């Protein structure tokens, strides 16, 4: 194999991505496009609670146990609330 082929191959081996050197360039976003993309995704995040509640209603129909996304039990005039997450 000619020496120039070995040099060319080795040069390209060092410039590509591989598991031992996972480095790439120019894949980031500038601040304006990052903000536009983060704002565009908000409509999907806003729909998530209603989708989860619909699925919980379907599960409640099948199992007979009905749950809500957010359930508050306590004084309606409370000034301080403790939020507990998990199962009881």
pLDDT at residue 31, rounded to an integer: 74
pLDDT at residue 52, rounded to an integer: 94
| Residue 13 forms part of a structural domain | no
| Residue 55 forms part of a structural domain | yes
- Of these ranges, 2-6, 63-67, 83-87, the one predicted with the greatest mean pLDDT is 63-67
| Residue 19 forms part of a structural domain | no
From residue 56, how far is each of 31, 49, 62, 70, 85 by CA, in Å?
Answer: 38, 10, 10, 12, 17
| Residue 1 forms part of a structural domain | no
Number of domains in the chain: 1
What does the pLDDT look like over 73-88, one tens digit per residue? 889 899 998 887 777 5
| Residue 27 forms part of a structural domain | no
pLDDT above 70 (res 54)? yes
* Structural domain boundaries, residue 69: 32-88
Mean pLDDT taken over the chain: 78
């Amino acid at each position: 194999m000619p020496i120039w082929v070995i040099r060319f191959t080795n040069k390209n081996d060092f410039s590509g991505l591989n598991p031992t050197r996972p480095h790439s360039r120019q894949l980031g976003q500038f601040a304006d496009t990052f903000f536009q993309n983060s704002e565009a995704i908000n409509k999907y995040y806003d729909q998530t609670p209603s989708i989860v509640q619909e699925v919980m209603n379907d599960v409640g129909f099948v199992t007979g146990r009905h749950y809500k996304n957010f359930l508050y039990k306590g004084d309606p005039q409370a000034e301080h609330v403790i939020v507990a997450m998990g199962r009881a």
